[in-house]
């Protein structure tokens, strides 16, 4: 074993042979190589951000080679270098929300999390009106801008042909803003349906089973064609509660690490939802609005402060 006095000298002696592995986000790599003709593995992981205020106050001005990947309404995303790094690939993915709202501040702030169960009654009397209020506030303008062809069209990967696809079966594919658009192992796309009568999985009914199966099959075929990925290396899920109340489907590579977007208490497999609907008792109008759904909420979220906390404290019935 190398003595502490010369341990640092070993790293420059590492001779790279091949990339053995890397995580989907590209933050960790495993390199195979040699040191002094002996086999060696080099495992590297990006260090955590320096949280010192003197560093953070200069963070944005220290970025270089900033490249815009896309924007819509108040949302923009970029690739950038954390230093000069001339000739090197970008090492930072940047998202900018400007101007941001108080709701954004609450969403992204560090906060305690609660586990709640939304019954059919709570959904009908409290959550559905909350959804309606958010839609009435224009929270979906950026979604409608995309669907109507006014913005972000350069990022549309696929759009159902209008001349051959019935109105309620049309959708379009976009890259998720958290994907770097090049690493297939971390592929993350969004399918936005063009129909506007389905706000969330709560609106799904038995009568939608055939439509869901058709759209999932079509999505898999198109993503496979676009990226050369076998269909059984893709999975589809939806969020509840979703970030915005227009039905959309997340499509990810099966190798994508289960970060916040796939966590239990937020993500539900679309295949499982379809199976639940198909076997649900009742006629075609039976649906997900009648089941209990459990999920997590941050204490700063409006759903917690306006609905579930008052219910817990018996201030709402």
Residues with catalytic roles: 248
Q: How far is CA 317 from CA 120, 122, 125, 161, 302, in A?
A: 13, 9, 9, 47, 17
List, in sequence order, the alpha helices (H) in 153-208.
Answer: none
Please tell me the distance from the alpha carbon of residue 195 to that of residue 189, in angstroms, as a whole number: 19
Please tell me the distance from the alpha carbon of residue 89 to that of residue 157, in angstroms, as a whole number: 24
Which is nearest to 237 in space by CA: 265, 213, 271?
A: 271
> What are the E-state strand segments in the chain?
15-22, 28-35, 38-45, 64-72, 75-81, 92-97, 113-118, 158-159, 171-175, 188-193, 234-239, 248-253, 267-269, 293-298
Q: How far is CA 112 from CA 107, 109, 265, in A?
A: 11, 10, 14
Q: How many CB atoms lie within 10 A of CB 171?
A: 22
C-beta of residue 167 within 8 angstroms of C-beta of residue 195: yes
C-beta of residue 180 within 8 angstroms of C-beta of residue 26: yes
Cis peptide before 241 (omega within 30 of 0): yes
């Amino acid at each position: 074993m190398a003595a502490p006095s010369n341990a640092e000298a070993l790293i420059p002696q590492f001779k790279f042979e091949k990339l053995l592995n890397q995580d989907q986000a590209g933050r960790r790599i495993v390199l195979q190589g040699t040191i002094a003709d002996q086999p060696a593995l080099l495992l590297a992981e990006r260090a955590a951000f320096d949280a010192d205020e003197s560093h953070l106050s200069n963070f944005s001005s220290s970025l270089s080679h900033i490249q815009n990947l896309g924007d819509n309404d108040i949302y923009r995303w970029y690739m950038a270098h954390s230093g000069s790094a001339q000739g090197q690939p970008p090492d930072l993915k940047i998202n900018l929300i400007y101007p941001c709202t108080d709701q954004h501040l609450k969403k992204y702030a560090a906060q305690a999390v609660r586990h709640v169960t939304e019954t059919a009654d709570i959904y009908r009397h409290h959550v559905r009106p909350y959804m309606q209020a958010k839609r009435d506030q224009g929270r979906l303008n950026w979604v409608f801008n995309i669907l109507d062809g006014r913005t972000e069209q350069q990022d549309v990967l696929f759009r159902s042909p209008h001349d051959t696809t019935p109105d309620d079966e049309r959708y379009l594919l976009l890259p998720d803003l958290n994907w770097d658009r090049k690493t297939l192992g971390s592929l993350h796309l969004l399918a936005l349906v063009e129909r506007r009568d389905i706000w969330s999985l709560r609106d799904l009914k038995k009568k939608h089973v055939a439509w869901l199966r058709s759209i999932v099959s079509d999505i898999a075929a198109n993503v496979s064609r676009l990226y050369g990925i076998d269909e059984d290396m893709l999975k589809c899920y939806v969020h509840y509660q979703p970030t915005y109340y227009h039905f959309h489907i997340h499509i990810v590579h099966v190798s994508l690490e289960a970060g916040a977007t796939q966590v239990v208490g937020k993500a539900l497999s679309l295949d499982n939802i379809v199976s639940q609907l198909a076997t649900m008792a009742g006629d075609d109008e039976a649906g997900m609005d009648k089941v209990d759904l459990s999920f997590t909420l941050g204490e700063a979220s409006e759903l917690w402060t306006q609905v579930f906390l008052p219910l817990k404290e018996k201030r709402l019935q």
